[in-house]
Chains A and B, each alone.
Chain A
């Protein structure tokens, strides 16, 4: 039930923050009667109402609805968050390392993080995978992937 109530509180908090941001939208001379903030304000009000309804429903039903994917411990959330963090680190390092090296490292790190011990096989798979991605996106599709600091360093 705590999660059901938490959802209602989160929805109301989101509604309040969104309404506040909608109220701060500047008014344009070109604007229509509804205005740029009109629809967002309406959405915020409805969201607030739904949040309140969710809390009321949770209190009335008292755990009658079991959540579909069951309870999870803190450790599983941390593992999931680290996966997200790996993606965030990729965003930071790719402009420096360049696409081929960054994607090879991403493959290696995720394979190891997902349960395989570091080995020559994992290194080969990561390298070959990076080559396939580079050929597909850079050579075949012509996407301008980051080249990193290497051209500047190597002259």
Chain B
């Protein structure tokens, strides 16, 4: 109770609440623009926090993070362009529902799932920071390698019925992830002498190309492809029946989001894809996934919004920024002379409890802002198709250029678009490619660091208990996916025979 009073006092004694609302609006705006990541949206506001009191500054930055992670799902659903990495999983069923004329329903599910995830994550952050901090400390290089393998195990169920094609797609992603400077020796690989490639290829560039540019190419080449007779014109919040269906995916997203959030470096993208996969596995209607499933939106959206809060656990308790966004927040704390770690709770409790209160306000503000802006967003994407295609391409080129002021990045996006178009033509699913690009660096660098530690002994992956547990889990999940695929194929063959 005293903590609640402390949070309330910290929030109301200054300008924290208005700054929380402003932060959410700014975050949603930034997250909805492809290329403006949550960390960039936060970094743009960092200089303005110098003149603020510590509570308002930290609350505003954290609110931008909350808003941006949610904002990324808006273009993912409406124009098949994930605004942030973690919104990529939402694109699968969100855009499919939009194509069926149910954009308002998809956005409503995404909004309430984000709210549920955000509030659950806040609860975890407030009540369990101390015990969960130990989880973060248990993660060694072998455990990170195993975590990456666990993430890649999702490929089996994202393969769209052909495991070979799914694996080819995943390997393409892993190959793209090897471009750049070698994580151990510093040697450049596959850069062909271009300094622009030394830092590797950003996953967001590949995602925007694969999803959005390839979609533009399809749309412009087959004008009647996306026609629907009836379209949502307003935001539709879920009814009781939909809430009941969302309970299980929300629970899955909450659990996975908590685990991934407290693990530094894991992030919302893995959480979203894993939640999507598990929601499909536990669903009574797995056949709807990929064809416009309610659960396929609810699970990843809940998961990546849980991560916005739980990612702060290692930051606040140990001073470890687990993501770029957490690093910017760390900068905001340091600017005000606050050092994260166990002593932060002793020396500046008003900042910690103010942050908890601010996150609560930010999540409520996210709901209110969403209710206000989403219907106009639906109106925008229901404009005549030539205008829509032109504005999407302009948004992509402007947003991507904004990341590094690089035309080279734009070239990568166009190349990824051509790759995505070719993959569609060949019937290759590109979600495994996205997973490969996102997880490739984590898997390879952790694998090699582990072997450096063990002197080349692969037994290190089995001796580390966390690594062993995650590898066993990955093997079990892959075996279940394979078994299901084989069973479905056998059913299809026997059905065709009859």
Known: A28-B185, A50-B164. A141 touches B402 (CB 8 A): yes
Q: Is the CB of A84 within 8 A of B221?
A: no
Closest to B179 in A: A40
Task: Provide the main secondary structure of the chain A interface.
Answer: helix
Contact with B along A76-92 (1 / 0, CB 8 A): 11011101101110110
A145 at the B interface (CB under 8 A) = yes
Residue on A with the closest CB to B399?
A137
User: Complex Cα distance A84/B421, Å?
Assistant: 11
Are B410 and A114 in contact, CB atoms less than 8 angstroms apart? no
Mark each residue of chain B from 203 to 247: 1 if its CB lies under 8 Å from any CB of chain A, else 0: 000000000010011101111000000000000000000000000
Q: Shortest Cβ distance from B76 into chain A, in angstroms?
A: 19
Min CB–CB distance A150 → chain B (angstroms): 18
* Chain B residues whose CB sits within 8 angstroms of the CB of A114 once the complex forms: 220, 223, 385-386, 389-390
User: B71: shortest Cβ distance to chain A, in Å?
Assistant: 14
How far is it, in angstroms, between the C-alpha of A109 and the C-alpha of B16 when the chains are bound?
46
- Complex contact A46–B426 (CB within 8 A): no
Given contacts A32-B184, A107-B390, A114-B389, contact A80 B447 (CB under 8 A): no
Q: Which chain A residues numbered 102 to 151 have a C-beta less than 8 Å away from chain B?
A: 103, 106-108, 110-116, 125-126, 129-130, 133, 136-137, 141-145
| Given A30-B185, A129-B390, CB of A6 within 8 Å of CB of B426 | yes
Q: Is the CB of A77 within 8 A of B164?
A: no
B425-446 residues with Cβ-Cβ distance < 8 A to A are: 425-428, 444
Within 8 A of B (CB), among A1-35: 3-4, 6-7, 10-11, 14, 18, 21-22, 25-28, 30-35
Assess A87 versus B393: contact at CB under 8 Å? Given A115-B385, A142-B44. yes
Q: How far is the CB of B472 from chain A (nearest CB, A)?
A: 22
Q: Which chain B positions have C-beta within 8 A of A133?
A: 394-395, 398
Interface size in chain A (residues, C-beta < 8 A): 75
Tell me if B326 is interfacial: C-beta within 8 Å of chain A. Answer: no
Bound-state CA distance A3–B424 (Å) is: 11
Contacts of A141 in B (CB 8 A): 30, 36, 44, 402
Closest to A46 in B: B171
- State the CA gap A141–B389 with chains docked (Å): 23
A 57-88 to B, binary, CB cutoff 8 A, 1 in contact else 0: 10000000101110010001101110110111
Give the nearest-CB partner of A27 in chain B: B187
What are the residues of chain A within 8 A of B473 when measuring CB–CB?
A: none
Closest to B409 in A: A91
Question: By CB atoms of chain A within 10 A, which of B160, B385, B387 has the most?
Answer: B387
Is B131 an interface residue, CB under 8 A from the partner?
Answer: no
Contact of A137 among B184, B386, B398, B428 (CB under 8 A): B398
Cβ of B189 within 8 Å of any chain A Cβ, yes or no, is yes
**Chain A residue at minimal CB-CB distance from B496:** A64
User: In whole Å, how far is B134's beta carbon from the nearest beta carbon of chain A?
Assistant: 30
Contact size range, B? 35 or more
**Residue B451 is within 8 A (CB to CB) of chain A in the complex:** yes
Question: Contact between A110 and B386 (Cβ–Cβ < 8 Å)?
Answer: yes
**Are A50 and B452 in touch, CB under 8 angstroms?**
no
User: Are B394 and A80 closer than 8 Å at their CB atoms?
Assistant: no
CB distance from A130 to the nearest CB of B (A): 8
Chain A residues, Cβ within 8 Å of B379: none
B465 within 8 Å of A (CB atoms)? no
- Counting chain B CB atoms within 10 Å of each CB, the highest count among A39, A95, A108 belongs to A39
A145 in complex: contacting residue of B175, B401, B410, CB < 8 Å: B401
Residues in B with CB closer than 8 Å to A4 are: 427
Closest to B391 in A: A129
Q: Smallest CB–CB gap between B206 and chain A, Å?
A: 16
- Chain B positions within 8 Å of A130 at CB level: 394
On chain B, the residues within 8 Å of A88 by CB distance are 411, 414
Query: By the criterion CB–CB under 8 Å, are A32 and B448 in contact?
Result: yes
Q: Are B187 and A144 in contact (CB under 8 A)?
A: no
On whether the beta carbons of A80 and B218 are closer than 8 Å, the reply is yes
Q: Is A36 on the interface with B (CB-CB < 8 A)?
A: yes
Find out whether the CB atom of B402 lies under 8 angstroms from the CB atom of A91.
no
User: Footprint of B on A, CB under 8 Å?
Assistant: 3-4, 6-7, 10-11, 14, 18, 21-22, 25-28, 30-37, 39-40, 43, 46-47, 50-51, 53-54, 57, 65, 67-69, 72, 76-77, 79-81, 83-84, 86-88, 90-91, 94-95, 99, 103, 106-108, 110-116, 125-126, 129-130, 133, 136-137, 141-145
Could you write out 17 A-B pairs with CB less than 8 Å apart? Answer: A7-B168, A25-B189, A27-B187, A30-B185, A33-B456, A34-B184, A36-B182, A36-B185, A39-B178, A43-B175, A91-B410, A103-B397, A111-B390, A129-B394, A133-B394, A145-B398, A145-B401
Tell me the B residues contacting A by CB distance below 8 Å.
30, 33, 36, 44, 160-162, 164-165, 167-168, 171-172, 174-175, 178, 182, 184-187, 189-190, 213, 216-218, 220-223, 384-387, 389-391, 393-395, 397-398, 401-402, 405, 407, 410-411, 414, 417-418, 421, 424-428, 444, 447-448, 451-452, 456
Q: Using A80-B217, A81-B217 as known contacts, list a sample of 7 further A-B pairs with CB atoms less than 8 Å apart, ordered by residue number in A.
A: A72-B425, A87-B410, A87-B417, A112-B386, A114-B223, A129-B390, A133-B394
